[in-house]
Amino acid sequence: MSSKTLDRFLKENLQDLKERGLYNEIDPVQGANGPVITINGKELINLSSNNYLGLATDERLKEVAIKAVKKYGVGAGAVRTINGTLDLHLKLEEQIAKFKGTEAAIAYQSGFNCNVAAIPAVVDKHDAILSDELNHASIIDGCRLSKAKIIRFNHSDMDDLRKKAKEAVESGQYNKIMVITDGVFSMDGDIAKLPEIVEIAEEFDLITYVDDAHGSGVTGKGAGTVKHFGLQDKVDLQIGTLSKAIGVIGGYVAGKSELIDWLKVSSRPFLFSTAVTPADAAASTKAIELLMESTELHDRLWENGRYLKEGLKKLGFDIGQSETPITPCIIGEEKTTQEFSKRLYEEGVYAKSIVFPTVPRGTGRVRNMPTAAHTKDMLDQALHIYEKVGKELGVIK
């Protein structure tokens, strides 16, 4: 018999989420996650994928993944520190280091794992972390695990960061102080003010940590936000995922050789979790190789992003302050946001609603992710549907 306490807890809290419009329905995709997807037998223009460059379905990546499975099998067979490190993992890490312009890199099983691995490995309860208030959930969890003092600064507010850095240093309470920011903020599409952050870090001797999950493959001609600003030699830890623009699964930390050596002997997901599969390692390596050879996919992504932004803005939608292809349509109230997304679905567009707690209350939005794989015809169809639904629900005139 299951616990009555647990049953009561689950029933009450699930009902509460549903009543407040915060319950998230999961829609299984039938087939590949491309620019057009099928859900419940219905074809939809897909504007909710992180597959920025369309590489998740790229034939060249499929080919190397199949070859890797045939040669190495479907799993690495062990954690990296026993005998789960394949030559494929070393090739991937060498490729990442070249891509990010660092001395070395270490690969993990996911981007989330990178943050819960690297942050606690570098700072502890005797230290402090200055963290942007809009940082990703995995950064927040990594900070909590470290037991360091977490000092939040206002989003991209450099005066607030400088003030809090000064206070932390002058307090004399901390052995080390780290400043952490996303490179690209995934809900609004804005870019971190890295030059100013690095300047403040140099002034107060802060460790610099940039999670570029949504920047790698997108900014800096594909090499990421740190490269976009030419700060490869100034940022201590560059974190990224292999599951968004790269199109596969996994994550990495790039930096100095000594940092990577330290993470190999101290970061828990590396020590206690089986390595990324051979197919994933091979496909990720190939994807990065393609990005280093040509900016074609990157350029197409940005062109599609500009096209969608301009179209939505002309229709009268609030698209926020995005500086990247990520294009939010900010609706506001949670239930209206959910209804807007539902109506888009019914008309043939899959654009998922994002509400609290992912974004602050009252700032619900439908987050659009145009990719390099979308055609102008697809985007035109999507804009037509946005106009229809927006007028119907009174979101636009």
Residues marked as catalytic: 186, 214, 244
Residue 238 to residues 16, 50, 125, 381, 392, Cα–Cα distance (Å): 39, 19, 22, 38, 44
What distance in Å separates the CA atoms of residue 326 and residue 328, rounded to the nearest whole number?
7
What are φ and ψ of residue 4, in 5° steps? -65, -35
Contact between residue 64 and residue 280 where contact means Cβ atoms under 8 Å apart: no
Residue 255: its H or E element: strand 251-255
The stretches of the chain forming alpha helices (DSSP H) are 4-19, 59-72, 87-100, 111-122, 137-146, 158-171, 194-204, 225-228, 257-266, 268-272, 278-293, 296-315, 334-347, 376-392
Residue 380 to residues 125, 329, 334, 377, 391, Cα–Cα distance (Å): 53, 16, 27, 5, 17
Q: For the chain, how are helix, strand and coil distributed in percent, rounded to 5? A: 45, 15, 35
Contact between residue 369 and residue 47 where contact means Cβ atoms under 8 Å apart: yes
What distance in Å separates the CA atoms of residue 13 and residue 217, rounded to the nearest whole number?
39
What are φ and ψ of residue 220, in 5° steps? 60, 40
> Which of these, 259, 161, 149, lies nearest to 203 by C-alpha position?
161
